[in-house]
């Protein structure tokens, strides 16, 4: 059985149903449903922090869920991106999408093996190959952020941040 090689043009003919999210990585179509409330809260908070910093420094801009087209068969929408003014000038095009790597891409994991594999393996591979400088994989379920940074031409795990849990004794 022959598998279909999807392209950005194919996305135009797919149904625009409420909450369905389409992405193409290396010609393979990934379909996901509307994300969990906590996923959206984490995305919003990350965007807000990055955008506040961007406004204060005037160094670039943060965008939630932008279209990011590397090639005709690599068309994705990271949860949040940050792009420096220098990259923005050459990346943003008239179709309202970015056509080159952002400085930072952030993916907030959704539950499910397919979702985790897409973000932790396939998108890591894609972002590394296409020149993203830094990639964060955020797990709201495990309260963890994996930070990958470009080193020797590829994204490598730089650090992992965990939320510290504090326990309060029941009795003194």
Q: Where are the domains of the chain?
A: 35-159
Instruction: List the one residue out of 31, 9, 10 whose CA is nearest residue 22.
Output: 31
Supply the pLDDT for residue 172. Answer: 47
CATH number of the 35-159 domain: 3.90.1570.10
Cβ atoms within 10 A of the Cβ of 25, count? 19
pLDDT tens series, the chain, 172 aa = 668 899 988 888 888 777 678 888 999 888 887 777 888 899 999 999 999 999 999 999 999 988 899 999 999 999 999 999 999 988 888 888 999 999 999 999 988 888 889 999 999 999 999 999 999 999 988 889 999 999 999 999 999 998 876 555 555 4
CA 53, CA 154: separation in Å to the nearest integer? 26
């Amino acid at each position: 059985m022959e598998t279909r090689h999807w392209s950005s043009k194919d996305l135009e003919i797919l149904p625009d149903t409420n909450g369905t999210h389409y992405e193409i990585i290396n010609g393979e179509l990934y379909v996901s449903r509307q994300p969990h409330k906590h996923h959206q809260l984490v995305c919003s908070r990350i965007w807000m922090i990055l955008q506040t910093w961007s406004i204060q420094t005037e160094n670039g801009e943060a965008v939630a869920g932008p279209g990011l087209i590397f090639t005709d068969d690599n068309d994705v929408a990271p949860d949040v991106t940050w792009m420096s003014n220098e990259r923005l000038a050459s990346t943003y095009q008239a179709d309202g999408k970015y056509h080159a790597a952002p400085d930072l891409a952030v993916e907030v994991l959704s539950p499910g093996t397919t979702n985790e594999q897409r973000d932790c393996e396939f998108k890591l591979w894609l972002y590394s190959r296409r020149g993203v400088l830094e990639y964060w994989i955020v797990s709201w379920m495990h309260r963890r952020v994996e930070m990958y940074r470009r080193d020797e031409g590829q994204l490598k795990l730089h650090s992992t941040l965990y939320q510290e849990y504090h326990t309060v004794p029941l009795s003194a």
